[in-house]
Amino acid sequence: MTDVIQLLPDHVANQIAAGEVVQRPASVVKELMENAIDAQASHVKLIVKDSGRTLIQVVDNGKGMSVTDARLCFERHATSKIQTAEDLFNLHTKGFRGEALASIAAIAHIDITTKREEDEIATHIKIEGSEVLSQEATAAPNGTSLAVKNLFYNVPARRNFLKSNQVELRHIIDEFQRVALVHPDIRFSFFHNGSDLFELPVSSFRQRIVAVFGNKTNEKLVPVSENTEIVTINGFVVKPEFSKKSRGSQFFFVNGRFIKSSYLHHAVKSAFEGLLPVGSHPGYFIYLDVPTESIDINIHPTKTEVKFEDEHSLYAIIRSAVKHSLGQFNIAPILDFDRNPGLDTQYSQRNSTPSSPKISVDSSFNPFDTNKSYIPKKPNPEGWEHLYEGLDVDLPQQTETIETSLFEDSQDRPVATTFQLQRKYIVSTIRSGMVLIHQQRAHQRILYEYFLSLISTDSSPSQSLLFPLVLSYSKKEVIMLQEFRVTLEHLGFSFGVFEDETIEIKGIHSSLTESTVSEVFDTFLSNLSKDIPDNGFSLNDRLAKILAQCAGIKSGESLDGVSQEGLVNDLFACKEPDRSPYGKPVFTTLTPDEIEKKLDA
């Protein structure tokens, strides 16, 4: 047999390498921005169109390239940043593998113009799929402008796997922010489809964090710093009372590079122990500087994972530094998460005479008001039949009268057919015994099906607020909420202006209260950042669940007879009454047989 092995041509090898380096438009953004920073630019401009599908361009005022270098930089293993393998342990640049540009050029159309200060004229080169189409001398300012067009034009599989524009844009914003957060000494601008998303002037670390995450961030930050032989720590943690349910603001930077490390994350988390409410995550921006020889950056193609020489000591130092600053800023003693903020006297009311207590319910809202029921009043026998599953009952006889005879005394109600147990369960008698309903889950199920149905209709039962509600978010969060504006409007929200860092809410669904609105949005945002849903269906589903969860009756609420009955009726008119939207059982039944068995024992 003849030999079968052959060396792959360069452009094929480059395409293969691109699979690792360039997963999506955001990866290109990262590589180009890092190159601009390595070229010592003081202003880096990112221009993106269609979430990077048609254009990703980075313009810098860095040191530029010679004519030869401008050609060479697209070759594989072409780098100016290291020369020997030892240099890997003395890195001061972001790049060093010399494969980013070669990879990108293999799967896109490239347009580069670059000029060094010492040269009279600039070089302009066009490349398509690793092939140089043209090269010419031109006039241009010092620095480099590199445009990547039609990404994945020759890799349909990759192109098809791209997510929606919104999702890809979110990834791009993430990469942009990660780079911008660690270089406050560099000015960054970011334009998307012609409008400017970020303009970040040269500033301090703290100002940069605030510029990226919004003005409200400033008061939330507590500085952390520590200086030891193996690491210098600088940065900030977010005060525990501002911790969120999302993992949004958790950033480690090592020697100027954003990294992910669950081990170091754990160090911070453990420093927060006892200070965070259940389900909340600490926020932090921690900048570590370690000796270059004590860290291996070359273990991952995108370099977001690194290996430390002395991870254990690092863990201990970070943990104690964070603990120290939380303690020093007196964070710990003032925390009291169980306190009901509703019990605090508002500043504006401090001096007024307290009036006699009123029950704080929204009197306009009664989920069981028959005039504005959440669900069609007509009972759904399919739902009811679940009740009789496995029970020894005479079903045919019941189905005839099912519309009225679920309850023993349905003819002449209200005889007490329901009562509440421990403010948590509704107990009701049914023909075949007894049913015990978990009130919180039941109401979530009712509202969930109701909200789902609202999303797909055009009616929006909005209730205007007397005073518009203005909520503050980071720019990225405002962009995320903006994407769902239409869906949210279907759900009864009516909005005023969406600004840089605030959104104005003019109306909400009548089942929500003003105080639950921010809970709804916070939960939704944190839900989005956990894993990114891509199709409208699952997203609507999440929204409906979140609304049901926030607006629903909770365990511990006392319900009067009418509400109890309404809840039972509405529940069994649901399509799937036996499970909460989160899959938990909603009710259980007890038959006379079972009761007898228990009593005979």
Binding site for ligand ADP (CB under 6 A): 31, 35-36, 39, 60, 62-65, 73, 78-81, 95-102, 144
Contact call for residues 113 and 92 (beta carbons, < 8 A): no
Would you state the structure tokens that stand for residue 21, as one six-digit string? 């380096």
Task: Kindly state the smallest distance separating residue 59's Cβ from Mg ion, in Å.
Answer: 16
Task: Kindly state the smallest distance separating residue 28's Cβ from ligand ADP, in Å.
Answer: 11
The reply to whether 95 sits near Mg ion by the rule CB under 5 A is yes
For residues 104 and 574, which CB has a smaller minimum distance to ligand ADP in the complex?
A: 104
Task: Kindly state the smallest distance separating residue 260's Cβ from ligand ADP, in Å.
Answer: 20
Q: Peptide bond preceding 414: is omega within 30 degrees of 0, i.e. cis?
A: yes
Tally Cβ neighbours within 10 Å of residue 234: 17
Distance (Å, rounded) from C-alpha 324 to C-alpha 280? 20
Name the binder of 491 from ligand ADP, Mg ion, none, CB < 5-8 A by kind. Answer: none
For residues 91 and 169, which CB has a smaller minimum distance to ligand ADP in the complex?
A: 91
Name the binder of 39 from ligand ADP, Mg ion, none, CB < 5-8 A by kind. Answer: ligand ADP
The reply to whether 100 sits near Mg ion by the rule CB under 5 A is yes
Name the binder of 490 from ligand ADP, Mg ion, none, CB < 5-8 A by kind. Answer: none
For residues 36 and 503, which CB has a smaller minimum distance to ligand ADP in the complex?
A: 36
Label residues 263-293 b or e (16+ Cβ within 10 Å = b). ebbebbbebbeebbeeebbbbbbbbbebeee
Task: Kindly state the smallest distance separating residue 258's Cβ from ligand ADP, in Å.
Answer: 16
Per CB under 5 A, the segment of 89-97, 135-143, 189-197, 214-222 that binds Mg ion is 89-97
For residues 35 and 569, which CB has a smaller minimum distance to Mg ion in the complex?
A: 35
Contact call for residues 56 and 151 (beta carbons, < 8 A): yes
Based on C-alpha coordinates, what's the Rg of the chain? Answer: 30
Task: Kindly state the smallest distance separating residue 64's Cβ from ligand ADP, in Å.
Answer: 6
Length of the chain: 601
Residue with tokens 């009268």: 401
Task: Kindly state the smallest distance separating residue 131's Cβ from ligand ADP, in Å.
Answer: 17
Residue with tokens 């990112």: 46
- The count of chain residues that interact with Mg ion, using the rule CB under 5 A, is 3
Which residue's beta carbon is nearest to the bound ligand ADP? 95
Distance (Å, rounded) from C-alpha 56 to C-alpha 46? 7
DSSP 407: B
For residues 29 and 237, which CB has a smaller minimum distance to ligand ADP in the complex?
A: 29
CA distances from 121 to 80, 313, 402 (A): 21, 52, 87
Contact call for residues 168 and 26 (beta carbons, < 8 A): yes
Name the binder of 97 from Mg ion, ligand ADP, none, CB < 5-8 A by kind. Answer: ligand ADP
Name the binder of 36 from Mg ion, ligand ADP, none, CB < 5-8 A by kind. Answer: ligand ADP
**Helix H or strand E segment including 348:** none
Task: Kindly state the smallest distance separating residue 293's Cβ from ligand ADP, in Å.
Answer: 19
Contact call for residues 223 and 204 (beta carbons, < 8 A): no
What three-state secondary structure class fits 558?
coil
Distance (Å, rounded) from C-alpha 601 to C-alpha 599? 5
**Phi–psi pair at 97, nearest 5 degrees:** -85, -15
Distance (Å, rounded) from C-alpha 448 to C-alpha 454? 10
Task: Kindly state the smallest distance separating residue 93's Cβ from ligand ADP, in Å.
Answer: 7
Task: Kindly state the smallest distance separating residue 74's Cβ from ligand ADP, in Å.
Answer: 8
For residues 36 and 238, which CB has a smaller minimum distance to Mg ion in the complex?
A: 36
Q: Report how far apart the first and last C-alpha atoms of the chain are (Å, whole number).
A: 82
The reply to whether 321 sits near Mg ion by the rule CB under 5 A is no
Task: Kindly state the smallest distance separating residue 35's Cβ from ligand ADP, in Å.
Answer: 3
Q: In what order do the strands lie in the sheet with 462-472?
A: 462-472, 502-509, 494-498
Strands 250-254 and 284-289: parallel
The reply to whether 62 sits near Mg ion by the rule CB under 5 A is no
The reply to whether 301 sits near Mg ion by the rule CB under 5 A is no
Name the binder of 565 from ligand ADP, Mg ion, none, CB < 5-8 A by kind. Answer: none
Query: Up-side HSE of residue 309: CA atoms within 13 Å toward CB?
Result: 9
Per CB under 5 A, the segment of 92-100, 360-368, 468-476, 508-516 that binds Mg ion is 92-100
Tally Cβ neighbours within 10 Å of residue 222: 18
For residues 92 and 372, which CB has a smaller minimum distance to ligand ADP in the complex?
A: 92
- Binding residues among 14-43 for Mg ion as defined by CB under 5 A: 35
Name the binder of 178 from Mg ion, ligand ADP, none, CB < 5-8 A by kind. Answer: none
For residues 102 and 267, which CB has a smaller minimum distance to ligand ADP in the complex?
A: 102
Burial class (CB in 10 A: 0-12, 13-18, 19+), 21: buried
For residues 64 and 507, which CB has a smaller minimum distance to ligand ADP in the complex?
A: 64
Distance (Å, rounded) from C-alpha 96 to C-alpha 91? 8
Name the binder of 252 from ligand ADP, Mg ion, none, CB < 5-8 A by kind. Answer: none
Name the binder of 96 from ligand ADP, Mg ion, none, CB < 5-8 A by kind. Answer: ligand ADP
Would you state the structure tokens that stand for residue 433, as one six-digit string? 């015994």
Contact call for residues 69 and 211 (beta carbons, < 8 A): no
For residues 78 and 402, which CB has a smaller minimum distance to ligand ADP in the complex?
A: 78
Name the binder of 46 from ligand ADP, Mg ion, none, CB < 5-8 A by kind. Answer: none
Task: Kindly state the smallest distance separating residue 208's Cβ from ligand ADP, in Å.
Answer: 21
Per CB under 5 A, the segment of 100-108, 165-173, 209-217, 401-409 that binds Mg ion is 100-108
Which residue's beta carbon is nearest to the bound Mg ion? 95
For residues 299 and 601, which CB has a smaller minimum distance to ligand ADP in the complex?
A: 299
CA distances from 228 to 234, 295, 321, 408 (A): 12, 16, 11, 75
Residues in contact with Mg ion by CB under 5 A are 35, 95, 100
